[in-house]
Amino acid sequence: MSDLIVVESVSKRYVTSSGPIEALHDVSLSVGAGEFCTLIGPSGCGKSTLLGMLGGLVTADTGRLLVDGRPVNGPDPGRVATVFQDAGLFPWRTALENVEFGLELQGVPRERRRAVATELLGPLGLRDFAEKYPRELSGGLRQRVAIGRALAIDTQIILMDEPFGALDEQTRLLMGEWLLDIWRRTRKTVVFVTHSLHEALALSTRVMVMTARPGRIKRVLELPMPYPRAMESAEMVALRATLWSGIRDESLRAMGER
Ligand SMILES: Nc1ncnc2c1ncn2[C@@H]1O[C@H](COP(=O)(O)OP(=O)(O)O)[C@@H](O)[C@H]1O
Ligand SMILES: [Mg+2]
């Protein structure tokens, strides 16, 4: 697998009124094309900072970030799309019009963007909701629209920062299944942030556990097993224990800091 994303020795310090905060310290990683790579670690360990850097929204103090061999210098909406925990939909646009939004920014003609967005609604499970406004949709459906908006612009890379973090557990499980299906159809390269061990293990080709702040990559778990995964199997239960033991200490450290 070629490395589509390369992060080399990246550090980041924020200057705040109460002094500097070292968010990331010497982080290096790479993500191959078509991977579903998950970052997991305690709150405040720099996960969003790292995604922000990949999306060109945050600059690194040291090191470098390459996407497809080229340095990241600011947002590049043709190459990288980001989905956040809050769907961030436009309330005055229908689901379909929200999915179309990125194409509109790219200057795609009206008919063409309508056709692209309409075709996406089927696999997104949104066909019956095309004309609904965000306030008429459940949280899960709103996140589908947000992910649809990212898919419509057809970037090679989608960054997802706790996209299901605000959903209840059952909706979240269903959204995980849904996302797995979408990802397997589209073969996008996904960098995903979650606090859910289940999501990390059910969805990822690779999981990177981060330390408490300043965030570093503590451990990398390769998950080559096929999908859908039998989450109750002895293998997955053992992996869950391994993952949790890596995260638990870091979460305790992060808690103690507060
Ligand atoms: N713009 C900012 N200014 C100052 N501090 C920030 C800023 N963004 C993040 N931080 C701090 O940097 C650390 C890492 O934040 P973040 O990347 O959001 O972590 P995570 O997403 O893992 O919770 C936290 O301590 C956070 O408070
Ligand atoms: Mg975050």
State the pLDDT at residue 215: 96
State the pLDDT at residue 21: 95
User: 7 C-alpha to center of ligand 1: Å?
Assistant: 18
State the pLDDT at residue 219: 95
157 contacts 188 by C-beta, under 8 angstroms: yes
User: 46 C-alpha to center of ligand 2: Å?
Assistant: 7
The string of DSSP codes covering 110-130 is HHHHHHHHHHHHHHHT-GGGT
State the pLDDT at residue 257: 72
**pLDDT tens for residues 233-246?**
999 999 999 999 99
Q: How many H helices and E strands in the chain?
A: 7, 10
Among 10, 11, 14, 50, the mutation site with the greatest number of ligand 1 atoms within 8 A of its Cβ is: 14
State the pLDDT at residue 52: 97
213 Cβ closer than 6 Å to some ligand 1 atom: yes
State the pLDDT at residue 87: 86
Give pLDDT < 70 ranges for the chain.
Answer: 1, 258
